[in-house]
């Protein structure tokens, strides 16, 4: 990430929360941040790789290689992003009528409860060092609503959209339709194995089913109100009620309507499941294409 901060001062301002532009000093890239100097550290991505014998499906161990020695007279800023294939228990969907509508986010830092589930977990326990200041962010699409959270957040805000695209290397929302919401925690004390940090979110996704349920309830309330305010004798003679009664009394129509309703519901559920699968595949293809497009300027340079 350091080359992006070095070449694009506007992105540096977003990361540090102010107009801190990097400049050259003594052969290093320096950022004057909050009255202190901070050097940018560069990672040699060609030699940085996971240590295979220490990784499994739910855990990865990486050896980071720097492009040169780090200075000892100033603090060094290093920022690394890892692409992962599975979120494991950090993100868990809960299905409701074959539709993913609710999810839980469970984040843990310096929590030793599951170290025995990873290779050489007991060795890592002794090598963990305290984190003096932890900044924890969860960035989600705006259609999620938080039902429960723990602990209290520092703030919740919208992501600044397109201004982050060069840093992220991808569009902040496909077709610009999705707004991203940032949930931010920053513990007051340092985080260590003796004082771990845990964050939990219980999320609900609003969709067309929620809107349909709201419309149905509103329509039922209107019809019930009309029936209550009407004369029962006049209501029983209404043409619409007579037509419905006549249609319902036709021989076999109840069974036919029931079978048709079940068949239609099953067809709709199959169509929805198939369309969601195709949409997820399309999203993966589009995001892979976005990453290639954003890497193109760096290759041309």
Question: In this predicted model, which residue has the larger pLDDT, 119 or 48?
Answer: 48
Tell me the average pLDDT across 25-33.
Answer: 78
pLDDT band per the 50, 70, 90 thresholds, residue 245: low
pLDDT in tens, 95-132: 665 567 789 999 999 888 877 777 777 788 878 889 99
Q: Does residue 261 have a cis peptide bond before it, meaning omega lies within 30 degrees of 0?
A: no
What CA–CA distances, in Å, run from 201 to 136, 140, 148, 206? Answer: 13, 11, 6, 16
- Residue 291: burial class (beta carbons within 10 Å; 0-12, 13-18, 19+): middle
Based on its alpha-carbon atoms, the radius of gyration of the chain, rounded to whole angstroms, reads 28
Half-sphere exposure of 205 (CA within 13 A, CB side): 15
Asked whether residue 301 carries a pLDDT value surpassing 50, the answer given is no
Q: What is the DSSP string of 165-205?
A: HHHHTS-SSGGG---EEEEEE--SS-BBTTB-EEEEEEEEE
Say if residues 184 and 155 touch (Cβ distance below 8 Å).
Answer: yes
User: At which residue do the structure tokens 């962010």 appear?
Assistant: 137
- Residue 225 and residue 72: Cα distance in Å, rounded? 77
pLDDT surpassing 80 at residue 164: no
- Asked whether residue 216 carries a pLDDT value surpassing 80, the answer given is no
Q: How confident is the model at residue 191 (pLDDT cuts 50, 70, 90)?
A: very high
Could you tell me the pLDDT band of residue 22, with boundaries at 50, 70 and 90?
A: confident
Lowest mean pLDDT among 44-58, 121-135, 157-171: 157-171
The CA–CA distances, whole Å, from 223 to 220, 240, 243, 250 equal: 5, 13, 17, 24
Task: Give the model's confidence band at 213: pLDDT under 50 very low, under 70 low, under 90 confident, else very high.
Answer: low
pTM higher than the cut 0.75:
no
pLDDT of residue 260: 66
pLDDT at residue number 28: 79
What is the H or E stretch that residue 122 is in?
A: helix 121-127
Q: What pLDDT sits at residue 232?
A: 61
Q: Output the pLDDT for position 202.
A: 94
Token pair of 141 as six digits: 């699409």
Please state, rounded to an integer, the average pLDDT across all residues of the chain: 76
């Amino acid at each position: 990430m350091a080359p992006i901060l070095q070449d694009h001062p506007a992105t540096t301002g977003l990361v540090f929360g102010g107009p801190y532009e990097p400049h050259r000093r003594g052969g290093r890239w320096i950022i004057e941040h909050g009255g202190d100097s901070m050097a940018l550290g560069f990672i040699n991505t060609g030699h940085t790789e996971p240590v295979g014998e220490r990784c499994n499906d739910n855990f990865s161990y990486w050896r980071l290689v720097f492009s040169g020695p780090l200075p000892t007279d100033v603090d060094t800023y290093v920022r690394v992003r890892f692409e992962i294939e599975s979120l494991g228990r950090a993100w868990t969907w809960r299905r409701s009528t074959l539709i993913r509508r609710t999810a839980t986010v469970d984040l843990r830092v310096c929590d030793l409860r599951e170290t025995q589930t990873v290779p050489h977990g007991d060795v890592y326990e002794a090598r963990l060092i305290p984190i003096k200041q932890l900044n924890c962010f969860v960035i989600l699409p705006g259609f999620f609503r938080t039902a429960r959270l723990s602990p209290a957040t520092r703030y919740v805000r919208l992501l600044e959209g397109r201004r982050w695209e060069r840093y992220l290397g991808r569009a902040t929302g496909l077709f610009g339709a999705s707004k991203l919401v940032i949930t931010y925690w920053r513990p007051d004390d340092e985080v260590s194995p003796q004082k771990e940090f845990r964050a939990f979110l219980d999320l609900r996704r609003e969709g067309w089913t929620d809107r349909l349920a709201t419309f149905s309830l509103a329509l039922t309330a209107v019809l019930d109100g009309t029936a209550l305010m009407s004369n029962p004798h006049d209501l029983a003679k209404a043409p619409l009620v007579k037509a419905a009664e006549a249609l319902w009394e036709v021989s076999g129509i109840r069974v036919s309507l029931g079978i048709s309703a079940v068949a239609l519901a099953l067809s709709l559920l199959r169509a929805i499941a198939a369309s969601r699968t195709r949409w997820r595949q399309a999203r993966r293809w589009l995001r892979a294409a976005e990453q290639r497009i954003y890497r193109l300027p760096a290759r041309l340079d």
